[in-house]
Amino acid sequence: MALAKIFVLSVGSLLSGGLFIGAATAAAARSEIRFAISPLFPPYESRDAQGQLVGLNIELGNALCAQLDARCTWVDQIFTLSIDALESRRFDAIMGMASTPQRRQLIDFTDDLYPLTTHLVARKYSGLLPTVRALKGKRVGVLTGSNREAFALAQWAPAGVIIKSYWLNDQLIRSLVAGDIDATLQGTAEIRQELLDTEQGQPFDFVGRPVTGQQMGTAVAIGVRKSDPQLRGDLNRALEQLKQSGEHQRILQRYLQEEPETAAAPDGDGPHFYPTEIALPFSEAVRVGNTLYISNIAGLDVRGNPVKGGTGAQMKQVMKTLHDLLERHHSSLDRVVKCTLMLADLDDLALVNEVYLGYFDRSRLPARSVLAVRRLPRSARVALECVALTEEYREPEAAVPN
């Protein structure tokens, strides 16, 4: 028994000693943090005329290192290859990366450093907007491997928008100025500094509202390996200390301007007409004051063909399209006041009602009429047109294909 106790104590001593050594090694590793950067993206990270690193990400990184009493080492890295290089331990963290759901599957991220906004930029008075309707057949430039490229390829390209990818931002900007592309989807701060605030950028401007989507994320953070929770925790604690002291906000204010204003509201209470995505002899919707009149919505897919699966599947598509259209016009299903339901066969009414009621609050059902229509557009089985109330006028959101 005594020997057993001695053995257990000896093993325990070795284990605790090993843990102590491991902790000391981890602490020692924090004496230096190697950040990957791509210094081609002012105002976030770039080099000045003397070759010194400057920018928001550089200042934030240095401030975090100071909080941790560590030395910042900056490692130049091609952005599109940075996640693979992180996993191969070429550096410890990626400084300034949009924390999208797709990237979170591969690596971990710290708490958010600052918000991320994206705008479409085009020539003034071009009539372009960040909608499928406005961009169909147009050429939109994006950076290879960026979250904006992922969004554009997923949301716009299938609907006929031509997406052109560039390795370098200066190549992209030259193409825009030369007319080789019609617009670019860019981070608000970098395109403002690189183009809009320059002499050659005066013919260009932000068009429409900020573009949002799951592929782009909403904020920038620091990427770390999933196997390094210690570093993630250290950086988060240091970031919180910077926020508490006010230093974080002071750094941001030097680089991030207020969001650009969106298009001004039209004068008066209307009517204001919103055309369909393809040339049709009617508007998608017309707004008069705070009332939105919505043209009939049939159960069609993005190619204009009836959704497969019969009347029930088509009605689900109708309600999804109505929901998305209302959101774009800053309304919602609970602000619908009247609908007219059109059916090719009244025997389908019970099935359609089952789908319809699944989208409305039972205490806020709109008034409704039901019509039997011998033939609906494109041989659809069901269609719906509605009237809804909207918020005080705001420019409609960018539409994305179904």
CB 204 within 8 A of CB 123: yes
Q: What are the tokens at 336?
A: 């619908």
Residue 338: its pLDDT value, please?
A: 97
Q: Please write the tens of the pLDDT for every residue from 24-60.
A: 344 444 799 999 999 999 999 999 999 999 999 999 9
Over residues 275-296, mean pLDDT: 81
Dump pLDDT digits (tens) for 239-248: 999 999 999 9
At 259 the pLDDT is: 61
Per 3-state DSSP, what percentage of the chain is helix, strand, and coil (rounded to 5)? 40, 25, 35
| Backbone angles phi and psi of 21, in degrees to 5 | -65, -40
Residue with tokens 């759901």: 101
Q: How confident is the model at residue 381 (pLDDT cuts 50, 70, 90)?
A: very high
Q: Which element (helix H / strand E) includes 337?
A: strand 336-343
Q: Which of 315, 332, 335, 314 is nearest to 323 (CA)?
A: 332
Residue with tokens 């963290």: 93
- The CA-to-CA distance between both ends of the chain, in Å, stands at 73
Q: What is the mean pLDDT of the chain?
A: 86
pTM: 0.59
Query: In terms of Cα–Cα distance, which of 64, 94, 98, 62 is closest to 81?
Result: 94
Model confidence pLDDT, tens digit, residues 308-350: 999 999 999 999 999 988 887 778 898 999 999 999 999 999 9
Q: pLDDT higher for 42 or 3?
A: 42
pLDDT tens string 261-270? 544 334 445 5
Give the model's pLDDT for residue 288: 87
Beta partners for residue 220, in sequence order: 98, 114
Least confident of 149-153, 207-211, 231-235, 398-402: 398-402
Burial of 363 (C-beta count, 10 Å sphere; 0-12/13-18/19+): exposed
How many other C-beta atoms can be found within 10 angstroms of the C-beta atom of residue 51? 7
Which residue type does 71 have? R
* Torsion sign over Cα 132, 138, 141, 144: positive
Tens digit of pLDDT for each residue in 125-149? 787 888 888 899 999 999 999 999 9
Q: Is residue 392 predicted with pLDDT exceeding 60?
A: no
| 360/316 Cα distance (integer angstroms) | 13
Convert 224-234 to b/e letters by CB count within 10 Å (16 or more is b): bbeebeebbeb
Phi, psi torsion values for 194, nearest 5 degrees: -80, -25
Lowest mean pLDDT among 33-47, 90-104, 223-237, 274-288: 274-288
> Residue 8's pLDDT is what?
36
- Average of pLDDT values for 182-193? 94
CA distance 312 to 89: 53
Q: Tell me: pLDDT of 397 over 80.
A: no
At residue 300, the pLDDT reads 87
Q: Tell me: pLDDT of 214 over 90.
A: no
The confidence score (pLDDT) of residue 262 equals 47
Confidence bin at 2 (pLDDT 50/70/90)? very low
Q: For residues 244-264, give the mean pLDDT.
A: 79
Q: Which domains does the chain have, with CATH numbers?
A: 29-114+217-253 (3.40.190.10), 118-207 (3.40.190.10), 272-389 (3.30.1330.40)
